[in-house]
Structure formats: structure tokens, C-alpha cells
Structure 1
């Protein structure tokens, strides 16, 4: 707990603060697009396929469905 960022498996440092698209705006920036839904309710089809695959085959065998769900969430405006 020395205040250093934690390195995640994806190689992105995490300091507990989320920054990304639309995190801050200035008067000249366009209004950021906020997700219209809660993340738990977005992309139900890819979420179902991802979850079923993980339950049946384990997370390591389901990277195709995991990435498809992440892509869908990004398209919905989430920063994942």
C-alpha cells in the first residue's frame, strides 16, 4: 500500500482512479458519450454466451466470447 500502481494481467496500470474517454471535458471538447445502460444490462446476448462458455469450459477456453463481450461493451460506451 505504498501508493504504487498495481500492474494487471493486461499490462495496464491501475491506481484506483478510472480515466479514459470522456473522463474530463473542457469548453471546446464535445460532450462525452455516456453509456445509456448499466454495464450489467448491456450486451445480454454476448454476456450469456460468455458466461455459459466459462461455466462449461473454464475461462481459459473462452477468450473468443470474452473478447466479443468486451467489444460489445465498448460499442455501448463502456471503458473496458
Structure 2
């Protein structure tokens, strides 16, 4: 009876269920948005540089507000490559 119930519920111990593959945004087979397989550090160099320059140029108290647009542009670029930001 127990064997019947475990088979019915799909809890058979003879065939373990495989774990789903973890999404890797740098794997072109999993992420068609990133065909070159770029890592986050190498994606979007133009917006990354503009973001970094903005934060270096402005005082920390005003950087959040003044750099908001360049940060949003960098986030949009990263998401365009399939990175979860």
C-alpha cells in the first residue's frame, strides 16, 4: 500500500528528480541577450564609466540625486544583457 501511494505521489526513490539548472546570464546558451558571454564587469563599459565619473565628480551628499540618470542608464544597459540588477 505504501509503495502504491509513493508511486502515485511521484515520490519514488528509484528516480530522483533533477534540480533545475541555475540561470547563468553569462552563458550564451541560456541567455540569448548576451551572445558574447560578457561578465557583469565587462558589460556596458560606456554607461559604467559615465556612472563612475559622476560619482567621483560629485560629493557623496549630492551624488545620489545628480547621478540618478546615469545610474538608470547603466541599469537599463545591464538588463538589456539579461543581468538581474
With normalisation by structure 1, the TM-score equals 0.56
Matches within 5 A, 1:58-77: 58-77=63-82
Count of residues paired in the alignment: 52
Structure with the greater alpha carbon radius of gyration = 2
Matched, 1:54 2:61: no
Displacement of 1:42: 0.3
Map 1:5-16 → 2, pairs under 5 A: none
Query: Which of structure 1's runs of 4+ aligned residues deviate more than 3 A?
Result: none
Higher helix share: 2
Structure 1 unpaired stretches of 5+? 1-21, 24-30
Q: For residues 38 and 48 of structure 1, what CA distance do their matches in structure 2 show?
A: 16
Alignment RMSD (CA, Å): 2.0
Secondary structure of the residue aligned to 1:77 is coil
